Amino acid sequence: MDLIHKVLHQLRIRRLGLPRTTVFRLALAYAGLYILVTGITLGLVYWSTSTQLYAQIDSGLQAESGALVTLYHARGLQALREAIAKRSTRAARLASDRQNAGQRHYLLLGPENHKLAGDLNRWPASFTSQKTWATLKVKDVSPAEWADPDDPPDSKTLDWRIRAHITTLPGGYHLIIGQALNEADELNHHILDSILAAIGVTLFSILVGGLWMGRHVLVRLKTVQQTARTIMAGDLSKRIPLGRRRDEFYDLAKTLNGMLGRINALMVDMRQVTDNVAHDLRTPLTRLRARLEMALNDPQPNTENLQETIADAIEDADSLLGTFNALLQISRLESGLSHFTLDEVDMSGICRDIQELYAPLAEDKGAKMAFELEPVRVQGHPQLLSQLVANLIDNAIKYCDSKSGLITLTVGQISGRAQLTVSDNGPGIPSRAREKVFDRFTRLDYSRSTPGNGLGLSLVRAVMKLHQGTIRLDDNHPGLRVILEFPAAPRPATTEI
């Protein structure tokens, strides 16, 4: 037990909480199965060896008995007595032993069960003439050799087993030939011990080996777990070490690290958004508060002024609400949690209606609107697509050239994909800022003075993502050209997002 404790300690099994683990249970189950199989195999080997061993002795005894019976029939009782006496001497026994036949003992009993010849002195009372075979103990038969009162045999010798063959001869005589089984028994025990030892050693090595291999797995898993704990504790930059070998743990660590990277990017993104929200909402909130405060502190308040202030405050609040709602809508679209049913819609129809809605606005600014609309059908959400086009046209009207503004709207089909472009002739967006403008609240320097919440293009991107389309910003020489592409038409009628 001590050794096992030491081994377990050495393997740092307790620290890893091994007994609870799958690895431990697997090692145990495997060891159990192994013992069962090995036990059956070695048991069979033992059984057949042992049987063979004793069968050999029996056949030796039988042969000897046969020889003596033949002698008795041929030459009579006297010859038999002489032969037995001759064979019963110590020297004869030793000679027979040298020939690997084992030491044999003899006893010839007369019709009254009295000893006529042989080195055995006794025969147990239970002896019955019907039996052919018997297994007894040395002390039951008391061979002459060990009956010497001056040299008493030790207790161990007395317990040796003796295998005996009994032949009943005509005339009521009984011939008993026995052989001590001590050597055979010893050999048998030896085999059994070896088998048990072999099983023990194997079991031990399986357990130790299994646990050692399991420890390797556990250590790797522990690393993953520790990393996860560190991350949970707040250190999001922590990553799982990959290890040297490209095994399944390497792949697992790589996948998990990828996932952590994605989560981290989202977190950073979210923090950025939150910061932007806080920053961009502070200004109108401050203005709103200042308005109300000034009205409250007005030394000579009059109804007209107060109502004016309250109306302004409501407008501020409305614009804040609008920003909040836009933010919510974008997050909902981006999260993919809401369900939107996409139907087949005519993109050019959507564009025509939005163009009509915005025409007076463009006219007021003195901008011209040109459009080339081919009937193109896409799988889409009519309201969201309308909002998308509205946002793009709204931007185009805001930023087109203030003197001779021109806004161009096209809908067409390019290699099976529906394409929508909205172009203006304003200042455009420098290529390095083109990715950034899709982020929430991004407003380029020249747009600071125009009204807007910096969410328009974020929403456009979110809607395009929902429609599995792409969005590209290009130079219109001069101005900005927004190019939207939608996936090829045949798609299932509804898409669950």
Partner 1 sequence: MHILIIEDDVDTARFIEQGLSQAGHHTEIAHNGALGLQRARDGHFDVLIVDRLLPGIDGLDIVEQLRQSNFATPVLVLSALGDTDERVTGLNAGADDYLAKPFAFSELTARLEALARRRRPELVSHKLVIGNLELDRLTRTVCRGKQEIYLKPREFRLLEYLMMHAGQVVTRTMLLEQVWDYRFDPQTNVIDVHISRLRAKIDRGFEPALLETIRGAGYRLRQPMANN
393's enclosing H/E stretch is: helix 382-399
Our finding on whether 394 is near partner 1 (CB under 8 A) is yes
Looking at 138-146, 165-173, 293-301, 317-325, which segment touches partner 1 (CB under 8 A)? 317-325
Looking at 59-67, 73-81, 307-315, 423-431, which segment touches partner 1 (CB under 8 A)? 307-315
Residues 325-364 that bind partner 1 (CB under 8 A): 325-326, 328-329, 332, 338-341, 353, 356-358, 360-361, 364
Nearer to partner 1, 140 or 316 (CB): 316
Alpha helical stretches, state H, 336-374:
347-365
Distance of closest approach, residue 409 Cβ to partner 1, in angstroms: 16
Our finding on whether 458 is near partner 1 (CB under 8 A) is no
Our finding on whether 324 is near partner 1 (CB under 8 A) is yes
Among residues 200, 322, 336, 366, the one that binds partner 1 under rule CB under 8 A: 322
Distance of closest approach, residue 31 Cβ to partner 1, in angstroms: 56
Nearer to partner 1, 112 or 496 (CB): 496
Our finding on whether 451 is near partner 1 (CB under 8 A) is yes
In angstroms, the CA 256 to CA 47 distance is 56
Nearer to partner 1, 324 or 446 (CB): 324
Our finding on whether 496 is near partner 1 (CB under 8 A) is no
Distance of closest approach, residue 383 Cβ to partner 1, in angstroms: 4
Distance of closest approach, residue 444 Cβ to partner 1, in angstroms: 16
Residues 25-64 that bind partner 1 (CB under 8 A): none
Distance of closest approach, residue 368 Cβ to partner 1, in angstroms: 16
**Count of residues engaged in binding partner 1, rule: CB under 8 A:** 38
Residue 46 forms beta bridges with which residues? none
Residue 152 dihedral angles phi and psi, to the nearest 5° = -65, 140
Looking at 180-188, 287-295, 318-326, 471-479, which segment touches partner 1 (CB under 8 A)? 318-326
Distance of closest approach, residue 435 Cβ to partner 1, in angstroms: 21
Residue 456 · residue 394 · CB < 8 Å: yes
* CA distances to 183, 281, 332, 449 from 320, in Å: 104, 7, 18, 18
C-alpha Rg value of the chain to the nearest Å: 52
Residue 107 forms beta bridges with which residues? 118, 176
What's the half-sphere exposure (Cβ side, CA atoms, 13 Å) at 111? 4
What's the half-sphere exposure (Cβ side, CA atoms, 13 Å) at 97? 16
Nearer to partner 1, 243 or 366 (CB): 366
C-alpha torsion 436→441→446→452, nearest 10: 140
Q: What is the DSSP letter of 153?
A: P
Residue 472 · residue 483 · CB < 8 Å: yes
Nearer to partner 1, 175 or 384 (CB): 384
Residue 141 · residue 162 · CB < 8 Å: yes
Looking at 212-220, 412-420, 448-456, 484-492, which segment touches partner 1 (CB under 8 A)? 448-456
Long-range contacts at 3-10 (CB < 8 A, ≥ 24 apart): 7/208, 8/211
Q: CA torsion sign, 306 to 307 to 313 to 316?
A: negative
Looking at 120-128, 205-213, 259-267, 386-394, which segment touches partner 1 (CB under 8 A)? 386-394
Our finding on whether 381 is near partner 1 (CB under 8 A) is yes
Strands (E), 98-224: 104-109, 115-118, 133-137, 161-169, 173-180
Nearer to partner 1, 70 or 383 (CB): 383
In angstroms, the CA 389 to CA 289 distance is 35
Distance of closest approach, residue 260 Cβ to partner 1, in angstroms: 31
Our finding on whether 384 is near partner 1 (CB under 8 A) is yes
Our finding on whether 391 is near partner 1 (CB under 8 A) is yes
Look up tokens 């009521």; give the residue: 172
Nearer to partner 1, 386 or 421 (CB): 386
In angstroms, the CA 441 to CA 453 distance is 6
Distance of closest approach, residue 342 Cβ to partner 1, in angstroms: 10
Distance of closest approach, residue 328 Cβ to partner 1, in angstroms: 7
Q: Which conformational region is residue 171 in: left (phi greater than 0), alpha (psi within -120 to 50 degrees), or beta? A: left
Our finding on whether 401 is near partner 1 (CB under 8 A) is no
Rule CB under 8 A: which residues touch partner 1?
310-311, 314-315, 318, 321-322, 324-326, 328-329, 332, 338-341, 353, 356-358, 360-361, 364, 381, 383-384, 386-387, 390-391, 394, 397-398, 451-453, 456
